[in-house]
Amino acid sequence: MFFDLIIKNANLALTGNTVNSAELNCLYGASVGIKDGIIEAIWEADKAQEASSSKVIDASGQWLLPGFLDCHTHLVFAGNRADEFARRARGESYQQIAASGGGILSTVRATREASEDELFEVSLVRAKALVSGGVTHLEIKSGYGLDWDNEAKMLRVAQRIGTALNIEVSCTYLGAHALPPEYSTNRAAYVDIICNNHLPKLAQLKLASAVDMFCEGIGFNASECERIICAAQALGLKIKAHAEQLSRSGGAALIAQYQGLSADHIEYLSLPDIKAMAKNNVVGVLLPGAFYTLNDTQKPPIDALRNAGVTLAVSTDLNPGSSPIGSLLLVANMAVNQFQLTIEEALWGITLHAAKALGIEDSRGSIAVGKRADVCLWPIETPEQLIVEIGLHAPTKIWSAGREINL
């Protein structure tokens, strides 16, 4: 077979489709053949000599890893909330800041005022920061518009980012992020608009493939979220939720009941929640950046999740208020140091397990024949360094579907 690209003399990690979280599934001195954006062959040692290609890269012993997937971000927004960081340092809580008109609604005001082009320019900078750290697939949520025109504007910007950077973007609608000011006295009417207006338009225009919701005391209650879930699933949209972040909200149980993709944050999970997630194959997405930024003390019940067999992903939760962090490897380090994941679990958490949180694990997230050729070459001695040595390593090359990314 003739290949578009062969990467030879590379050490591979995170290979195959079967995960033992204690192992990184490494191959040493291997080669990878890529054709039409897909990994078509993996050879051990010098077995690639018989293959031909229009381009051959000699990795010279560098490590080839799958591109990382950041499976939970809010990176499309205008403005900043640096003042809230200072307010929390003086003792105000996230909930108190939100109640005073700050928090999500502060970003809603700035995002509504920005034009689509302005929003694209500021958001592209954040996306580039993530891609420069080895991310080849971004999930990007709306949620700072809270009306149709501005939610759609955000999702179009997310799609434009994928095109501009030559990466994949999974778009998620998050209209149920906060109650917009114009509906502050009529919650039911806003939920009606989401279910009867926004979601049908999303499905028709293909602006998003999934629907998220903030199931929390300062967001939307379980009954409201269940209405949104049922409306979304009736339209063929996937579901996920911000769940059990600040309190026992019922979001994780709902996502398990309706067999959604993931429950994210999950600090306040109960044992029944965990059992339901395991039974229904719901991924738990850990967001240690928010835990760190908000100075939280309630950690996700990692041992119980692990013992139940719940798949655990890790993501930045990049957003202007509770996790203004643009490094997936940094939050993977936090997942180890703060939540006691193993290094191996953290690396799987930003690759194959993150792909599962997006419902694309069959074609993304590991180095395996038949998978999309999203890979990065790293000048390191061992993959564990990427989690341990923060800010000290950058990929020498990044490929998305076999095409080199040049930022």
Residues 359-377: pLDDT tens digits? Answer: 999 999 999 999 999 999 9
378 and 282 housed in the same domain? no
Same domain, 33 and 138: no
Domain boundary among 342, 358, 374: 358
The CATH number covering residue 264 comes to 3.20.20.140
- Give the annotated binding-site residues for Fe(3+): 72, 74, 242, 317
Can you state the angle between helices 116-132 and 148-165, rounded to 10 degrees? 40
| Mean pLDDT value across the chain | 96
CA distance 237 to 14: 30
Binding residues: 72, 74, 81, 144, 177, 242, 245, 317, 319, 321-322
Tokens of 225: 């979220």
d(CA 256, CA 253): 5
In which band, very low, low, confident or very high, does the pLDDT at 21 lie, cut at 50, 70 and 90? confident
User: Are 171 and 62 in the same domain?
Assistant: no
The binding site for N-formimidoyl-L-glutamate comprises 144, 319, 321
Count how many domains the chain has: 2
pLDDT of residue 336: 99
Same domain, 189 and 300: yes
Write down the pLDDT at residue 17.
Answer: 87
Q: Please, which pLDDT band fits residue 49 given cuts at 50, 70 and 90?
A: low
Does residue 203 share a domain with residue 326? yes
Report the binding-site residues for Zn(2+): 72, 74, 242, 317
Helical H runs in 318-363?
A: 328-337, 343-349, 352-357
Indicate the annotated binding residues for 4-imidazolone-5-propanoate. 81, 144, 177, 245, 322
Q: CATH number of the domain that 388 lies in?
A: 2.30.40.10
Least confident range from 87-96, 239-248, 304-313: namely 87-96
Any idea which residue has 């900078």 for tokens?
125
Q: Are 344 and 21 in contact (CB under 8 A)?
A: yes
Whether residues 158 and 239 fall in one domain: yes
Positions of E strands within 245-337? 262-265, 283-286, 312-314
* In the chain, % of residues over pLDDT 70: 99
The verdict on 156 and 37 lying in the same domain is no
Beta bridge partners, 242, equal 214, 264
208 shares a domain with 250: yes
Q: Which residues pair with 312 in a beta bridge?
A: 284
Please say whether the beta carbons of 405 and 167 come within 8 A. yes
Q: Clarify whether residues 50 and 171 are in a common domain.
A: no
Q: Are residues 105 and 198 in the same domain?
A: yes
Radius of gyration of the chain (CA): 21
Q: How far apart are CA 161 and CA 299, in angstroms?
A: 33
Higher-confidence residue of 147 and 17: namely: 147
Note down the domain range covering 13: 2-67+366-404
pLDDT for 89 equals 87
- Considering the domain architecture, whether residues 96 and 209 belong to the same structural domain is answered as yes
Q: What confidence tens digit (pLDDT) does each residue in 58-77 have?
A: 999 999 999 999 999 999 99
Task: Let me know whether 141 and 172 are in one domain.
Answer: yes
Higher pLDDT, 204 or 52: 204
Report d(CA 400, CA 67) in Å as an integer. 8
Q: How confident is the model at residue 47 (pLDDT cuts 50, 70, 90)?
A: low
